[in-house]
Amino acid sequence: MTVELTLPPFDMPVELSDVDLYDPQTYVLADQHPTWRTMRAKAPVWWQERADATGFWCVTRHADCEKVVKDYRTFSSQEGTILASVGVGDTAGGQTITLTDPPEHAAIRVPSMRALGHAVVQERTPFIRARVTELVEPCDDGEVDFARLMRRLPMVLAGEFMGIPPEHWDDIALWAAACVAPDDPAYALGANPAQTLRLAHHQLFAVFRDLVRHRRAHPGKDLISVLIEITDAMSGRDKPLGEWQVLLNCYSFILGANTTTPNVASHTLLALTQRPELWPRLRDDRGAVEGLVEEGVRWSSPTHHLVRRATADVELGGATIRAGDWVSAWVASANRDEAVFDDPYTFDIDRRPNRHLGFGGGPHYCIGAPMSRLALTLLFEELVRRYAGFELTGPPTHLRSNWINGLVSLPVRQVGRNAPC
Ligand code: HEM
């Protein structure tokens, strides 16, 4: 039974002519690490041809991926940041925090930091701790689907920071998942993927429209109020941030939170079910939990890739990329690069430094990193405080997506309650 799609079988040969990093089904069936390892060694900047569709460059080494995400002048986010945008662009291009380049990007990012920065995160820690404790309570009762339980984790964060009432959290988490993988049967809302995507977008935007109207009438310190303030401050300039743009940015934040945090939690617990010897140490040492979270982000690399579009001709990893070409930086591969990480296929909670690119890099470095680090730390502190460990009760199911390294289902059971400490 293949349970962990984070380790390559070391003897598995891969022919470059067989590689297809686009096909979402590939990611359900097998681990892509043998492919990425071959590409780093033989073709670190490789052109993926696609029949009847635009091809794209695949960048797999850490140093090259870092260059792509940091050098925003040469590699623009403006037209799309995921493979689905290759050749067609993103209709929200130039309008959201994710899909703008500096200096326009700073106009959205800098004020948004006010609602999400370290100081605010610290102030909200007691509230987040209480919510995280509630979240794991169902584990008391025996078998749970941990991946399903974790869908709520990002809503504890985004819900709190965006001022979204808890009655919307479960729906929003489901719609966000359907937007990421509309062709995964677990999230089918309509008769086909296109209908699922339309429905999920429609529902999400309807909820946000109401929340934005409410915040206009009752401004607070939350992120939606900040996004509205940005709109007003920019009015009168040549490109005002209108209500539609506020909605698009709400969507960016919700997707940023929901596509990643639950999957780090689930992949990390999965790794621990296979390394039960780590559990007692985690219980006794808070520093070890922080190391666990950082290694969990590297290990799971929830965003497989980040896409950019070249604005000029550039040499990278021995290849010539032309202006206008689409470039995908495979963060998941960079995070196993032997040139940067000792024993990259070992899950090592003592790895320091841990120079993973799981949160990206450069101007678009994840704005939710401080709060997701906090929530994941609180989550694992609570799990190790409460239980003696976890075991799998069935095979995990992987998400059908070339973008997100997701677990749709992770059936587990706690192996005993700890005495209170
Ligand atoms: C462990 C959890 C998380 C991981 C691994 C993660 C990963 C990432 C990555 C790789 C990027 C870079 C995207 C790019 O360069 O195109 C990013 C950006 C972003 N993330 Fe996260 N993220 C996490 C949690 C969150 C949370 C909780 C939020 C909610 C506030 C969030 C919101 C965003 C936003 C809005 C951006 C765009 C920032 C910008 O363009 O300046 N993320 N994230």
Residue ranges in 274-347 assigned as alpha helix (H): 278-284, 286-300, 331-334
Span from the CA of 304 to the centroid of ligand 1 (angstroms):
13
Does the CB atom of residue 157 touch ligand 1 within 6 A? yes
Instruction: Assign 2 a pLDDT band (cuts: 50, 70, 90).
Output: very low
Does the CB atom of residue 358 touch ligand 1 within 6 A? yes
Span from the CA of 117 to the centroid of ligand 1 (angstroms):
13
Give pLDDT, residue 6. Answer: 58
> Does the structure show a pLDDT above 70 at 391?
yes
Domain boundaries, the chain: 16-414
Does the CB atom of residue 252 touch ligand 1 within 6 A? yes
> Does the structure show a pLDDT above 50 at 393?
yes
Q: What is the mean pLDDT of residues 157-169?
A: 92
Name 328's bridge partners.
58, 307
Span from the CA of 270 to the centroid of ligand 1 (angstroms):
22
> Does the structure show a pLDDT above 60 at 179?
yes
> Does the structure show a pLDDT above 50 at 323?
yes
Give the span between the Cα atoms of 28 and 5, in whole angstroms. 9
What are the φ and ψ backbone dihedral angles of 406, each rounded to 5 degrees? Answer: -110, 155
Instruction: Assign 112 a pLDDT band (cuts: 50, 70, 90).
Output: very high
Number of H helices, E strands in the chain: 16, 12
Radius of gyration of the chain (CA): 21
Give pLDDT, residue 30. Answer: 79
> Does the structure show a pLDDT above 90 at 421?
no
Span from the CA of 255 to the centroid of ligand 1 (angstroms):
9
242-262 tens-digit pLDDT? 889 999 999 999 999 999 999
> Does the structure show a pLDDT above 70 at 11?
no
Give the span between the Cα atoms of 200 and 98, in whole angstroms. 20
**Percent of the chain, pLDDT > 70?**
95
Give pLDDT, residue 291. Answer: 97
**Percent of the chain, pLDDT > 90?**
83
Task: Give nearest CA residue, ligand 1 atom 21.
Answer: 366
Give the span between the Cα atoms of 293 and 354, in whole angstroms. 11
Mutate to test the pocket of ligand 1, among 98, 112, 224, 366 (most ligand atoms within 8 A of CB): 366
State which H helix or E strand residue 320 sits in: strand 319-321
State which H helix or E strand residue 360 sits in: none
Does the CB atom of residue 69 touch ligand 1 within 6 A? yes
Top CATH class, 16-414: mainly alpha
Span from the CA of 232 to the centroid of ligand 1 (angstroms):
25
Give pLDDT, residue 120. Answer: 87
Q: What is the mean pLDDT of residues 150-163?
A: 92
65-85 tens-digit pLDDT? 999 999 999 999 999 999 999
The token pair at 37 is: 């390892």
How does the average pLDDT of the chain come out, rounded? Answer: 93
Does the CB atom of residue 261 touch ligand 1 within 6 A? yes
Residue 335: closest CA among 297, 389, 283: 297
State which H helix or E strand residue 114 sits in: helix 104-116
